[in-house]
Structure 1
Amino acid sequence: MHASATRRLDGATLFLLTFPPLAWAGNAIVGRLAAGTFPPITLNFVRWVLAGTLLGLYTWRGVVEHRATLRRHAGLLTAMGVLSIASYNAFQYLALTTSTPINVTLIGASTPLFLLIIGALFFRERMRPWHVAGALLCLVGVSFVLVRGDLGRLAQLDFVPGDLFMLAATIAWSAYTWLLRKHRPDLPLPVLLFAQIVTGVVASAPVTAWELMTLPAPIPWNGKVLGILLYVATIPSLLAYFAWDRAIARAGAQLPVFFITLTPVFAALLSTLLLGESPHWYHGVGLVTIAAGIGLAQRR
């Protein structure tokens, strides 16, 4: 084995690659636990207000130092905040009100499919034959999960609303990823993340206010709710993002894509342990098909 490969796959790098999928799977579990207790759009809003406050305490000097760059890229940062903070995360919590964490994370694992499509349509990225084949495999895997192994549902379009919300979330995240890849402002990660949080929170505020005004009952502020907020505001919002950034810096851009497919695996394990929602055979078929599609699409 080459020395570079050994360096890339040392224990610290493996931890950095594995921790984010575990944290994001935990976010899906917690979002499911919050369903019926805490309204989904408000959960997303409070999550990022808390995360932004914590991050701001750490990075405010960097924000002041890079204020000229922030002003110059205000429009781009707003679009990134709307797509990631305001749209992707809100759609995910909406999805978890009617869908399971396993379904949600499996559909989210199909991101490479939508990355290819959006790249070809809007960013003039060339799709090679193995890209198309990999995207089609991902599509087959996602479709199999959506119809829960019953192909007759394709004719009836009988999907759970949460599954469709997660599809919308995945498309939003794919568009955000292309903006980040093609037009990333020259900012340190903490400053960039803070700017996206601020713009995303501002964009979420009107919809959050509407949701709160239409609630049938007040939010029960108890230990469960506080624990949910503490988790979502720290581990999947901040720690996982920083670990993922460090993992890409150490391992490159290709290898981490395969570790993302661990998210539905972790979600299945955590769902069984914490929610009593055991995975079904079609989840396994979908996971294998999506993973094969990602592997094929990543071929050079």
Structure 2
Amino acid sequence: MSRQQSIILMFAASFCWATGFIAMSVILESVNAVTLLFFRYLIVIAVLIPIILKTEGFDFPSRKNILYITGMAVFNVLLMNLLMFEAYRTTTGINIAVISAMNPLTIAFWSAALLKVRFRWIQVIGALLAFFGVLVMVFKGNLYALRTLQFHPGDLWMMVAVFSFGLSAVCSRYATRTISPLNALFYSAIIGLVLLLPIGFQSFEWPDWDINLLSLVLLVGVVSTALAQWFFNVGIKHIGAAESGFIINFNPVFATLISFVFLHEMPVWGQLIGWLTIMAGTALFYNMPKSTLK
């Protein structure tokens, strides 16, 4: 897979993640975090089985690789999701959006610390510029509102979730060196569910299903989890964790577009400026030799 194809696939992953943001906030009004997490990854497993059977077949990980796949399960399937869902319950949407904007920076941090990735100064400027653009989008151009942010207990949970996701990206980088991204996602989902059962057994509650709730849970499971994480793992395998993680900056861009198309929410000038700033930061970040990132 070429570099350009990998980047396009990462944009697709960002779009898939964005579709799930609104859906998850609605689901968590009637379903608790453990229940949503269980059905989310149960759907992932069910979706991936026929795809793997038809495309590449099951490739059981080696003894060494199982450690990295378990890391994907622990840091992504379990910790990141449970902490994020707890943050949804105990802090504001604005605070979550601001902290989530740190995702590409934390992935870059872990990539530098654990994968020995080295960044040029132009990339650092691009990353910070894109981060600033995300903040502009979140606050719709009114950055003065940053001064009015209040600390909530859920902010700490969200910060740990962001760093946990960064570690899972590094684990994925190691895991996909000897196993396909599809198989890595499949086995990490299984391990994550197995680990979830003793932890969340008492918290599990059977939902009062209706067509709307079922549709939203399927959307989260199929699109914003199975497809998004598969695309993300493919990107990590071919262009590295840091470069793949940078595309997360486009999550609020796609969320704004989705809100405009389906909810008829017209973006304001501040969001458009933020969008352009993210584009400029991305152009700087990707203007580098191919060998710069791992």
Bin for the TM-score computed over the shorter chain: 0.7 to 0.9
C-alpha displacement at 1:267, in angstroms? Answer: 0.9
Q: Does 1:44 align with 2:37?
A: yes
Matching residue of 1:55: 48
Q: Is the 8 A contact 1:28 1:105 kept in 2?
A: no
Q: How does 1:217-228 map to 2 (within 5 A)?
A: 219-228=207-216
Counterpart in 1 of 2:258?
270
CA contact (8 A) 1:144 1:286 kept: yes
Aligned length: 285
Matches within 5 A, 1:105-120: 108=100, 110-120=102-112
Distance 2:197 2:215 in 1: 23
What is the match of residue 31 of structure 1? 24
Amino acid paired to 1:40: A
Checking the alignment, whether the CA contact within 8 Å between 1:258 and 1:291 is kept in structure 2 is no
Residue number in structure 2 paired with 1:178: 170
Contact 1:41/1:207, CA 8 A, preserved across alignment = no
Worse overlay, 198-207 or 285-294: 285-294
Shift in Å at residue 257 of structure 1?
A: 6.7
Following superposition of structure 1 onto structure 2, how do residues 155-234 of structure 1 map, counting pairs within 5 Å? 158-159=150-151, 165-182=157-174, 184-212=176-204, 219-234=207-222
CA contact (8 A) 1:83 1:175 kept: yes
SS at match of 2:251: helix
Q: Paired residue for 2:15?
A: 22
Alpha-carbon displacement from aligned partner over 1:144-201 (angstroms, at most 9, x marks no partner): 56777354754x7514666655443332222222222245351123221111111222
For structure 2, list consecutive stretches of 5 or more residues without a partner in the other structure: 289-294
**Alpha-carbon distance in 1 for matches of 2:114, 2:31:** 37
Give the deviation of 1:235 after TM superposition. Answer: 2.0
Per-residue deviation, 1:237: 2.4
Contact (CA 8 Å) 1:146, 1:159: kept in 2 or not?
no
**TM-score, scaled to structure 1:** 0.72
- 2:118 corresponds to: 126
SS in 2 for 1:299: coil
8 A contact 2:84–2:161 mirrored in 1: yes
Distance 2:68 2:153 in 1: 31
Instruction: Map Cα deviations across residues 9-46 of structure 1 (whole Å, 9 max, x no partner).
Output: 7xxx9985654333211111211221311113321221
Change (3 A) 1:76 1:260: closer
Structure 1 unaligned regions, length at least 5:
none
Distance 1:271 1:159 in 2: 27
Q: Shift of residue 112 of structure 1?
A: 2.7
Alpha-carbon separation, structure 2, partners of 1:127 and 1:21: 23
Alignment of 1:235-246 (within 5 A): 235-243=223-231
Structure 1 residues 138 and 52, CA, compared in 2 at 3 Å: closer, same or farther? same
Q: 1:119 to 1:202 in 2, by over 3 A?
A: same
Which deviates the most, 157-166 or 183-192? Answer: 157-166
What percentage of aligned pairs have identical amino acids?
A: 25
2:65/2:178 contact within 8 Å kept: no
Q: Secondary structure at the residue paired with 2:77?
A: helix
Q: Secondary structure at the match of 1:239?
A: helix
Closer, same or farther: CA 196–21 of 1 in aligned 2, 3 Å: same
Is contact 1:271–1:277 with CA below 8 Å preserved after alignment? yes
